[in-house]
Structure 1
């Protein structure tokens, strides 16, 4: 598979790193020579200096022989022009474009199919809003992702010293939690990924990921000692696109929303275009303002300005003043593990959301979803095909690569938490967790014979 990535920023670099580690043929285009030097020094990829919107540069990168083009620069216009020329030079090429401007995303279906034949228009901000809404729906979880149109949840949460599951072996976990419909997918201990086995013991400080059905999520969380409450009061700091769209969505859920924005002109826009949200002009780091707006009564404080350092300060202040939960927007990948060390467990990243949205479209086979876990693993949802070696055998007998486990099967309306005796049938939706080094093998396992394994 030959993949051309236009843009070597945080998103482009991260995707190139992931795909290069899977031995895919990757070409990265960027206009910044220093950025490309970093890419070529650290990754096993080809680089091309120039604008991805130039047909000559695309030709030089081998667009006619490529399988996928990912236009992920910070410029919507460059991404759209790149897809335009790619469509002319290589009509059968799969194209994905990162688009953020609402003036373009309002027409994304027309852009995708009727004009540019783009296979996927990815709006990181909309992905972030969905992530925030999922986190709000499961207080206590630090990470939550959807599979099977939301029917299945992949949830990450910390094991604390006072947690009822601390010290529990995994083969006793379902009994301890009081629910059979879950399976632990991964354990992160001291920043090291553990693919779990039955005799693993959960310890204080572990970050565990488990899979369960959405309808049982609250019961499972209760078993872990986490009690959800009805969402009533939300404070949003930052009235940009994310803050504005989040407030509009919360208004429909009958949630009382306050929004703090520092820019006066933007406040006027927000006040005109929001119905029940209380718009306040001010600084989210103003302790007096937060106390005046009764930050202690807030179920969630969401900081989503474009300045991540400012977001961190606002969240720390809100948490110190008594807010029950904070959600913090972070852009740089390097900051994500750092903010957790200062006590901010719930973070969202437009760039990471863009990466997850893109990955599922570059996977081989009929992959529906792809979610990264701590840069070391990935959870894939795919449709098992007739010719796959995984079909028709008990899971315990499958020639599956080490470091990969089947988490869940969806067969029609039935959700199956598998055992070793469960059998995958053609057209089952299969959710698999795999370490990064085995992703390519798992892709093949879902589509073709596995004798080479």
Structure 2
């Protein structure tokens, strides 16, 4: 593939390294001369010193024949403009990094349509999703956010004491906009019918509205007794910390955020009023951690820009009694060292933003007709944009004879996302998310992704 990467900072360089030498033609554009020189010494590809919004420079980089453009600088305006110009010059696909604030505004203004974007993401939000998987699932089973964050997929293991055991899917009386997509039973994974009976140790894949999915998953895991509220402490009120707090605010958790900058702490307290307690204090101080009884927290998550502070505060929290400590680590070499010794250090997992982003972006380097969002036991979560040649274009979902082993789970129309239902019409330009088994994949793609 012909790939152009705009921005050779932490994220851009990490992606370029991953793609380098993998039979791709890579061109990197970087405005900082030192970063450009450093990048040219590390990758097997061409590096151009200059701005990614220059038409002349973009043409020189070959965007008119590019299969993929990754705009990965830390500036929203640069990335948005670079993507739009690249698409107008002939690039097939444009992937744009933006700030969390812009992602939150996407439901007010359709950046994708107005800037010719094929995908938009925030590294802070992706990291928050990665952290949330460890908080939400005691079994460590996958959570995946799709459809611009409006729909979530979660896998739940059914214990033998669950009230769901022995009931059919119809009898579960699931909330509106929450459904079962797949079941893994022992070595067998399948997409169930409404009459399927839930059994102990089943791994059930749910999808639906995130606010409703959390309660549904909890009810399937336990009996009717009320669950203890999870106590979560976040160090750092920057974009990583606030993205995480906003993501988990509907889960019924007790959230405390430490922020040492007074102005930022006051701003956070206003933004998160009613959902989190903001503490203006320096949590790198052991005395502060003791005073706030951090040892009683279920999770301590450090999200500052300092890897050293993140690791050391997690060690202190663990020594005080916190059960689960997760530091954000920006340097990959540090993170690898921490993860190799995490059991000794009392750390559950080190979260690496640049690696989280790399995994997200690598899924686009497959096909221009569909993307594999995630592999799950029942198959793959596949994202497809409907084209004119698609056999499902213009049809209601109930009219579409999907291959056995496949199911539509979510539908995006413009800026609106919803759980797919029988009466929904799939139009050209819509984005559809589906779960597809390996056996059904060929027939499904032939039907949908043309």
Q: Secondary structure at the match of 2:363?
A: helix
- Looking at structure 1, the residues matched to 156 and 354 of structure 2 have their Cα atoms a distance apart, in angstroms, of 20
How far residue 101 of structure 1 moved from its aligned partner, in angstroms, is 5.2
- Looking at structure 1, the residues matched to 406 and 152 of structure 2 have their Cα atoms a distance apart, in angstroms, of 12
Given that 1:231 and 1:299 are in contact with CA atoms closer than 8 Å, whether structure 2 keeps it comes out as no
Given that 1:128 and 1:350 are in contact with CA atoms closer than 8 Å, whether structure 2 keeps it comes out as yes
Query: Root-mean-square deviation (CA), in Å?
Result: 4.0
- Looking at structure 2, the residues matched to 109 and 79 of structure 1 have their Cα atoms a distance apart, in angstroms, of 19
Aligned to 2:258: 260
Please give the residue correspondences for 1:55-134 in structure 2 after superposition, counting only pairs within 5 Å: 55-90=55-90, 93-100=92-99, 102-103=101-102, 105-107=104-106, 110-134=109-133
Structure 1 stretch displaced more, 239-248 or 303-312: 239-248
- Looking at structure 2, the residues matched to 271 and 412 of structure 1 have their Cα atoms a distance apart, in angstroms, of 40
- Cα–Cα, structure 1 residues 301 and 14, in superposed 2: closer, same or farther, change >3 Å? same
- Cα–Cα, structure 1 residues 11 and 290, in superposed 2: closer, same or farther, change >3 Å? same
Please give the residue correspondences for 1:361-376 in structure 2 after superposition, counting only pairs within 5 Å: 361-364=364-367, 366-370=369-373
- Looking at structure 1, the residues matched to 78 and 102 of structure 2 have their Cα atoms a distance apart, in angstroms, of 15
- Cα–Cα, structure 1 residues 366 and 18, in superposed 2: closer, same or farther, change >3 Å? farther
Given that 1:134 and 1:144 are in contact with CA atoms closer than 8 Å, whether structure 2 keeps it comes out as yes
Aligned to 1:375: none
After superposition, give the CA deviation of every residue in 1:260-313 in whole Å (9 maximum; x if it has no partner): 110111111122222232221111122122122111211111111222221111
- Cα–Cα, structure 1 residues 213 and 39, in superposed 2: closer, same or farther, change >3 Å? farther
Identify which of 402, 426, 429 aligns with 2:443. 426
Aligned to 1:348: 351
Structure 2 portions without partners, runs of 5+: 158-183, 190-201, 207-215, 385-404, 410-433
Identify which of 226, 235, 238 aligns with 1:237. 235
- Looking at structure 1, the residues matched to 55 and 66 of structure 2 have their Cα atoms a distance apart, in angstroms, of 14
1:12 lines up with 2:16 in the alignment = no
Given that 1:282 and 1:289 are in contact with CA atoms closer than 8 Å, whether structure 2 keeps it comes out as yes
How many equivalent residue pairs? 344
How far residue 412 of structure 1 moved from its aligned partner, in angstroms, is 6.0
- Looking at structure 2, the residues matched to 415 and 32 of structure 1 have their Cα atoms a distance apart, in angstroms, of 43
Q: Give me the TM-score of the superposition, normalised by structure 1.
A: 0.65
Q: Give me the TM-score of the superposition, normalised by structure 2.
A: 0.65
How far residue 325 of structure 1 moved from its aligned partner, in angstroms, is 0.4
Please give the residue correspondences for 1:271-420 in structure 2 after superposition, counting only pairs within 5 Å: 271-276=269-274, 277-343=276-342, 344-364=347-367, 366-370=369-373, 381-382=381-382, 410=406
- Looking at structure 2, the residues matched to 2 and 116 of structure 1 have their Cα atoms a distance apart, in angstroms, of 21
Q: Secondary structure at the match of 1:270?
A: helix
Q: Secondary structure at the match of 2:94?
A: strand
How far residue 352 of structure 1 moved from its aligned partner, in angstroms, is 2.3
After superposition, give the CA deviation of every residue in 1:93-134 in whole Å (9 maximum; x if it has no partner): 311111015157514773533421111111111212222222
Q: Secondary structure at the match of 1:4?
A: strand
How far residue 371 of structure 1 moved from its aligned partner, in angstroms, is 6.3
